[in-house]
Amino acid sequence: MQSNGSFARKGSLCALLFAFCFVSNCAAYLDSGAGSYLFQVLAAFFIGLLFSLKRVAKAVPAILRKIIKGRDKK
């Protein structure tokens, strides 16, 4: 007797094989709002990247000062 996990895995595999083998081509489109959504995603990515770089740029000199002070004591 099989456990429920292996039965579910086999069922998922059969559904996936069915989708790839027996389904015909489908047409997809981009609606008019897709461009503005993509712009928003890219803008948020670059603003987040700039914020992260700013934080790193502020942290690096502080870390370097600690390293240099440690060398001066020796």
Q: In the prediction, which pLDDT does 1 show?
A: 45
pLDDT, residue 42, reads 96
- The pLDDT of residue 31: 76
74 residues of the chain, pLDDT tens digit each: 445 567 777 888 888 888 778 767 767 776 778 888 999 999 999 999 999 999 999 889 888 888 888 776 65
**According to the model, what pLDDT value does residue 15 have?**
84
| Statement: the pTM of the whole predicted model exceeds 0.85 | no
Class of residue 41 by CB neighbours under 10 A (exposed 0-12, middle 13-18, buried 19+): exposed
